[in-house]
Amino acid sequence: PNPFIIGIDACLGRMKSVGSASLGIGPVKPGAGVNKELPPVGDIHITGVVNVSGFMEFFVLQNTRLHLVMCIADLIAKSIETVHNEREKEFNASPVYQTVRHYKQ
């Protein structure tokens, strides 16, 4: 009923940022790198920098190495999984959860 949505997208950036990912508060604006008007998505957003911006962005995106995109996607997925697992450990160790678990048994 009240989902928490993480918007994830690729983007263009500075040369020194290519291959990195960043987390931000608020929605991601997909298509901004190629001047498309698409609705914003998410409560927070993660963007992976896949190539350099500045000139002919559409063609730059079309010539981005898939291997780099896949590596950044893997980094983002593993990061989300790590945070989820850590939060689950904290929740399972909480006194409130232990009390509820004991009560249900």
Strands (E), 1-105: 6-13, 21-25, 44-52
Chain position carrying tokens 């945070």 = 83
Q: For residue 91, is it within any domain?
A: no
- 93 located within any domain: no
Mean pLDDT (the chain, rounded): 87
52 is a domain residue = yes
Residue 13 lies in a domain: yes
Q: Is residue 95 in a domain?
A: no
CA 98 to chain centre: 32
* 97 belongs to a structural domain: no
Which residues are within 8 A (CB) of 51 and not within 5 positions of it... i.e. 6 or more apart? 12, 18, 60, 61, 63, 64, 68
Please tell me whether residue 12 adopts helix, strand or coil conformation: strand
Phi (first) and psi of residue 30, to 5 degrees:
-65, 150
Note whether residue 86 is domain-resident: no
Q: Is residue 38 included in any domain, yes or no?
A: yes
pTM summary value: 0.76
Question: Tens digit of pLDDT for each residue in 38-89?
Answer: 999 999 999 999 988 887 777 777 788 999 999 999 999 999 999 999 988 8
Instruction: Find, among 7, 2, 3, 12, the residue nearest to 80 by Cα.
Output: 7
**Structural domain total, the chain:** 1
Q: How confident is the model at residue 35 (pLDDT cuts 50, 70, 90)?
A: confident
> What range does the domain containing 71 cover?
6-79
Beta strands in 26-74 (DSSP E): 44-52
Q: How confident is the model at residue 32 (pLDDT cuts 50, 70, 90)?
A: confident
